[in-house]
Amino acid sequence: MSDLLARITVNPAICHGQPTVRGLRYPVQNVLELLASGMTDAEILADYEDLEAADLRACQAYAAELLKTKTFYRLAS
């Protein structure tokens, strides 16, 4: 898991300090939204050639780690 999490970087000079994939301008949030929208890994990787399959897993691992440390709030329906 630590190998995956190492792919997620935070740099105030990139995307206003949002967590991104390997210092590229791909915020973790955007990648997670693509996955949640139903896009397959293959579709995402075809559309974003800089990304690797491990980057997609890294975004999911990062989100899982955040949920371990953040208070969970139910989304309003």
- Structural domains of the chain, with CATH: 2-69 (1.10.10.10)
Other CB atoms within 10 A of residue 12 CB: 8
* Cα four-point dihedral sign 26, 28, 33, 38: positive
Instruction: Tell me the pLDDT tens digit for each residue of 9-61.
Output: 999 999 999 999 999 999 999 999 999 999 999 999 999 999 999 999 999 99
The predicted model scores a pTM of 0.87
- CA 39 to CA 41: how far, in whole Å? 7
pLDDT range class, residue 74, cuts 50, 70, 90: low
